[in-house]
Amino acid sequence: MDRELFPHAVHILRGMAEVVGCRPEGLVPMPNVTTAMNTVLRSWQHKHQPGPQDRIAHLQVAYGSTKKLISEIAVQTGASVDEVPIKFPIQDEEDVLEALADALTTETTLVVLDHIPSNAPFVLPLDQAVEICRDRAPNAFVMVDAAHSLLGTPLALEPPLADALDELPQMVLWPQRDSSTACGSPASRMDKANCDISWL
């Protein structure tokens, strides 16, 4: 069975890599978005070992299961959670970007952004949002939930914009930060949290 299915799996991975502009060897199938999000955030938790000195930021409109996962990590580690308020109606994208900037500090070590929230009608300007994260929280791992962005926005996942980016269908891309370095096995990348982009 494996010998029959493996060539088809490889064909699918290569096709998806062309669509999203990444290397096929970095794509790993996942059962669903929630599992993939959990895998990446738990990998970050394992590597970073956050504590009471850490702050985690996410948008007010973050997906429900993501909020629950972040809350659980905070309870387990003592990290503080900062929810970025989104006031409606949104007059300008600057309103969201300013709220994000105000919520971040040098103690922020994890930021979860939503490119197109599932429960709010706006598109977050990722370039500017990630730039704000790099400026206000230079040590933060920046993860983008882009589950609703596939085929709705242009995609070019290499070079990576954020440290992790979740997309549909259920695939995970975990290349090394240095593109000249060959990727290790999925298990070793999960353990070491060398994930730049997650294709979920």
- Per-residue pLDDT reduced to its tens digit, 158-177: 666 777 666 655 454 444 33
In this predicted structure, the answer to whether residue 184 has a pLDDT above a threshold of 70 is: no
Q: For residue range 121-158, list pLDDT tens digits in order.
A: 899 998 899 999 999 999 999 998 877 776 667 666 66
199: in domain: no
**Average per-residue pLDDT in the chain?**
79
148: in domain: yes
153: in domain: yes
The strand order across the sheet containing 164-166 reads: 80-84, 55-59, 108-114, 141-145, 164-166
In this predicted structure, the answer to whether residue 193 has a pLDDT above a threshold of 70 is: no
In this predicted structure, the answer to whether residue 24 has a pLDDT above a threshold of 60 is: yes
Which residue do the tokens 């070590």 mark? 109
200: in domain: no
Q: Which two tokens stand for residue 66?
A: 């993501």
In this predicted structure, the answer to whether residue 192 has a pLDDT above a threshold of 70 is: no
What is the pTM assigned to this prediction? 0.79
The pairs formed by 5-10 with CB atoms below 8 angstroms and a separation of 24 or more are none
pLDDT of residue 156: 62
- 81 pLDDT band, cuts 50/70/90, is very high
C-alpha 161, offset from chain centre: 10
118: in domain: yes
Domains identified in the chain, total number: 1
Under a CB-based contact definition with an 8 Å cutoff, are residues 26 and 173 in contact? yes
- Domain coverage including residue 72: 2-192
In this predicted structure, the answer to whether residue 40 has a pLDDT above a threshold of 70 is: yes
CATH code: domain of residue 141: 3.40.640.10
197: in domain: no
